[in-house]
Amino acid sequence: MKRVFSGYRPTGDVHLGNYLGAIRNCVFLQKEMDENLICVVDLHAMTTLSDNKNLASDTLMMAAAFIASGIDPNRSIIFAQSHVPLHLELSWIFSCLTPLGWLNRMTQFKEKADKNRENSCLGLLAYPVLMAADVLLYKATHVPVGEDQKQHVELMRDLAGLFNRTFSKDLFSLPEPVITGPATRIMSLRDGASKMSKSDISDYSRINLMDDADTLAIKIRKAKTDTDPLPDTAKGLETRPEARNLVSIYAALSGQTADQICQKFAGNNFSTFKEDITNLLIEHILPIGQEIQRLLKEGKHLESILKTGAERANLLANKHMNDVREAVGLLKAL
Ligand code: AMP
Ligand code: TRP
């Protein structure tokens, strides 16, 4: 059984990094996998609770973004994490197994907790444990994510192995990260050294799936570049992070390789290249944003998709959780 699980935090606008880095891979995998679970991880979004005033509406927006990107509710199980409480039960069981040293080593925790570790919440440290529970609750085999989540997927593999060894049962197989394509780590448009992210205060740092054509054009025009002309091979991009990022975006949207793109624009400055990127965004991203807007007007329809998704997910989760409870020795409830 090949089963995909992928999760997305509902923390405001969905951006190009989410789409090209992960959502699109779920769309591709939908055709070749037996089961596809795509989840709005609203409980994960709670680690930034104070910034998240619109958790419920952002959850609907994320579900709309999945569907607008090509996730088919008939082929895939689309649901909200908090609608399947068993994620939390499994997360607790894993919490009782996970060595603190593993969590302290997580780069995302180190970055987010920064120098304020003593005041960071427990949820931030436990974040990868809940993520492991998300995936292993369904015995998922494939996990499409961006490059930044690689370490978290490694931790869930380690945890699956630790569980199996501790309870002498081969309950969990090791899920594979799916980190493929030219855009596994899209960088900020303002700074080639930091990741495109929702938390960047400048909206000009990212392309949102809901940006209109003018906004897309302005953001690309203003995107930081250097003063050299484009090189004739991708190798020439190695020390030019901003140019490399734009070429990766172009490659992901056009299906061309970085070398083909460099050959096409070699020796030119960035203006025609940027115009072409804008056109690609207008062709590929604008219709997704328009579809999200349309779906959001049908809130009840989205809610019913999430309801059906949660029913299907709960069924699977219940079945697996019974095996886990038995393995860890809990008394069976009558
Ligand atoms: P998040 O919005 O942090 O919940 O991320 C959801 C998914 O999008 C995860 O698989 C991330 O790895 C992926 N992702 C987020 N930002 C980027 C980015 N800048 N480039 C590529 N993938 C990303
Ligand atoms: N941790 C992921 C992120 O920050 C989101 C996530 C939560 C996830 N649970 C998941 C991704 C399970 C893949 C599988 O982007």
Query: Stretch 201-220: mean pLDDT, rounded?
Result: 97
Measured distance CA(162)–CA(168) in Å, rounded: 10
What angle do the packed helices 299-328 and 86-95 form, to 10 degrees?
40
* pLDDT tens digits for range 11-50: 888 999 999 999 999 999 999 999 999 999 999 999 877 7
149, two tokens: 């989540």
Q: Which residue has the tokens 């070699």?
A: 266
Active-site pick, 112, 169, 224, 264: 112
Residue 110 CA, ligand 1 centroid: distance in Å = 17
Q: Does ligand 1 lie within 6 Å of residue 185's CB atom?
A: yes
Cα 189 to Cα 50, 186, 247, 268, 284: the distances in Å are 26, 9, 12, 20, 18
238 pLDDT tier (thresholds 50, 70, 90): very high
pLDDT, position 280: 98
22 lines ligand 1 (CB under 6 A): yes
| Cα 23 from Cα 16, distance rounded (Å) | 10
pLDDT tier for residue 205 given thresholds of 50, 70 and 90: very high
Q: pLDDT per residue over 184-194, tens digit each?
A: 999 999 999 99
The pLDDT value recorded for residue 52 is 72
pLDDT of residue 299: 83
Predicted structure pTM score: 0.96
Write down the pLDDT at residue 312: 97
Q: Describe the crossing of helices 286-297 and 55-69 by its angle, rounded to 10 degrees.
A: 130
The whole-number pLDDT of residue 269 equals 86
Residue with more model confidence, 120 or 87: 87
Ligand 1 in contact with 18 (CB < 6 A)?
yes
Q: Is 195 a catalytic residue?
A: yes
Q: Around Cβ 287, how many Cβ atoms within 10 Å?
A: 11
Name the one residue in this structure whose structure tokens are 């697996």: 320
Is there an atom of ligand 1 within 6 Å of 248 CB? no
State mean pLDDT over 134-154.
Answer: 97
Walk across the sheet containing 77-80 and list its strands: 77-80, 35-40, 3-8, 142-144, 176-178
Q: Best substitution site from 131, 141, 147, 155 to test ligand 2's pocket, by max atoms within 8 Å of Cβ?
A: 131
The region of weakest confidence among 112-121, 216-225, 311-320 is 112-121
What percentage of the chain has pLDDT greater than the value 90? Answer: 90
State the average pLDDT over residues 283-292.
98
Closest by Cα among 195, 152, 153, 142 to 20: 195
151-171 residue pLDDT tens: 999 999 999 999 999 999 999
Contact assessment for residue 130 and residue 15, using Cβ atoms and an 8 Å cutoff? no
Q: Of 2, 115, 139, 198, which one is the catalytic site residue?
A: 198
Tokens of 302: 């989205």
Is residue 288 within 8 A of residue 69, CB to CB? The reply is: yes
Asked whether the beta carbons of 112 and 126 are under 8 A apart, the reply is: no
What is the per-residue pLDDT across 99-123, written as a single tens digit (0 to 9) for each? Answer: 999 999 999 999 888 778 888 899 9
Domains in the chain, ordered, with CATH? Answer: 3-184+300-328 (3.40.50.620), 203-294 (1.10.240.10)
